[in-house]
Chains A and B, each alone.
Chain A
Amino acid sequence: MDMVLQTIALTKQYGTQYAVHNLDMNVERGKIYGLLGRNGAGKTTTIRMITALLNPSYGEIYLFGEKLKKPTKQTFGRIGALIESPAFYENLTAKENLKIIADLRGMQSKNSVEEVLKLVNLDKETKKLVKQFSLGMKQRLGIAMAMMHNPEFLILDEPTNGLDPIGIQQIRLLIQKLAEENGVTVLISSHILNEIEQIADMVGIIDKGIMVEELTMEEIRHKNRHYVKLTVSNMKRTIPILEKELGINDFEVLNDHELKLFQFDCDLENVNRILVSNDIGISELSIKKGNLEEYFLKLTGGDSIG
């Protein structure tokens, strides 16, 4: 597999505290990789190390197959990044800000700035200074700055912050289009699970600086496939009945009263009838679809505010 980004045991330590600890991450070319985590999980710290804004305490970073020692134009010219809240020269217009970056990048095309501003719907804000921009407009300008030079690898740290639902949808469609039509590899970090679920091919779940799990969306969907949720009065008697009388083996016990049935070829009416006839009370029998949020909460605990 052709990896655009690989990290091996990436660690950032502040005193005795680990912001990121032994992080292994693999971003495949042409894919959209969602880096998921709560606030303070280590997403931005990881991205800052990848973009050489922070020096790792330990570990290695490989970009386009080469070990990252110090930023070079050859490597970083192929990367576009939006890191944390976007920042600009507030006394200049959007076009002037992008022009400065374009000149520093040595971009020859005079239309690149206009084209990218049109792409993020900022082409009409010709006279407005950036200090007069709303948060959403600044976010879109940040995305424009990251994309302007047609990078192979786009790193977006919480790109939908401050955007309204229409803006979020536009950014999502733009990212998907870049990945599908232009083959751009995207690393997008977020704590909004719904957004990642809709676009990511691969997901890395990070919690307290540690990569808890790295898996494809297919694997997540499989782990969170449709199920029947049963709430029963007596779990101890329910399980033998399911296994021996009904022949159902594909289930997961959640607690003393709740379980998930994944076996959909079973006759739910029959399940209901047989459990009730065995004096087992059923207070809930419903079909549900697992989602990324449930999976994420299960992996990370989810019992405190992030």
Chain B
Amino acid sequence: MLWIGIAGCFILPVMALGINLSKPGEFTWAQYVQQNLWPQIILLWPCIFGVFGSYIFCRERIENTYKNLLVIPVGRIQLAVSKMFVMFVSIMCMAILTYILNLSGVVVGVTVTLTEFLEGLRVYALAGALMFACILPVMLVSIMARKSFLLSICISIVYALASFLASWVAPLAALLPIDVAWRIMDLKQFDMSYSFPLSTSFVSLAVISIVSIVGILYVSIKQEA
């Protein structure tokens, strides 16, 4: 599963390379990495991170090793928090790897200074952190679905597609997690309209994330092993 996540990091940088081979030197570094970032946020990352996160949360139950930990005992909350931490670190690593792979843009004439590189790194790290918050509802559903890993995969894909379509619906674009992340990143690829101010979007993302975390912890405690 780790290799699938890593392979996913290559997709858009390689595609960007192919697309821009005929247009060398057209973009600045900031433009180049932003061009790769918006499809990551709205489509690719929710799918990859959703599946990866579901794997982290569901694997122990599917393979029945969960009980070995509980009889030690390792606390259920401790386990859930550990898994969320691993998921966060994994998402951040994959986001940063994706960013670093953008350096392949030098082949098509993209130049970058150290300052520009660090600024881009900050943007991708922020995107990764936001993605973690966006994926939490999918994790909650994965845990509730218990051993149905296939259901988790389907939910991740539907979640990503629904968010993509909702980005053209002003009220939803201001409230749904992935669309909020896109708005916060301010990638300026498209002219979007939102029914609510940016502060409302922040609150929406925060509330959904907190509810998801509380839900994950509650289900972890209550669910029978």
Contacts and interface: CB of A to CB of B under 8 A. Distances in A.
A1 to B, nearest CB: 26
Interface size class of B (residues with CB under 8 A): 10 to 19
Contact of B73 (A54, A76, A84): A76
B65 A88 contact: yes
Interface in A25-74: 48, 51-55, 71-73
Nearest to A53: B225
Contacts of B72: 73, 76-77, 101, 104-105
Contact of A87 (B65, B70, B73, B74): B65
Nearest to A80: B71
Contacts of B73: 52, 71-73, 76
Contacts of B65: 87-89
B71 A87 contact: no
Contact of B70 (A52, A90, A105): A52
A203 to B, nearest CB: 24
A85 interface: yes
B71 A83 contact: yes
Q: Determine chain A's interface SS by DSSP, over half rule.
A: loop
Contacts of A83: 67, 71
A137 interface: no
B224 A53 contact: yes
Interface string A93-118: 00000000100110000000000000
B70 A48 contact: no
B68 A51 contact: no
A89 B66 CA distance: 11
Given A79-B71, A105-B72, A87 B224 contact: no
B80 to A, nearest CB: 15
Contacts of A72: 73
B224 A104 contact: no
A76 B71 contact: yes
A4 interface: no
A76 B64 CA distance: 19
B68 A87 contact: yes
A55 B225 CA distance: 9
B225 A87 contact: no
A54 B224 contact: yes
Nearest to B63: A87
A145 interface: yes
- Among all A-B residue pairs, the 10 with the closest Cβ atoms: A87-B64, A71-B73, A53-B225, A76-B73, A87-B65, A81-B71, A54-B224, A51-B71, A104-B72, A53-B67
Interface of A: 48, 51-55, 71-73, 76-77, 79, 81, 83-85, 87-90, 101, 104-105, 145
Given A83-B71, A87-B64, 6 more contacts: A48-B225, A52-B73, A71-B71, A73-B73, A87-B67, A101-B68
7 contacts: A51-B67, A76-B71, A83-B67, A84-B64, A88-B65, A101-B72, A104-B69
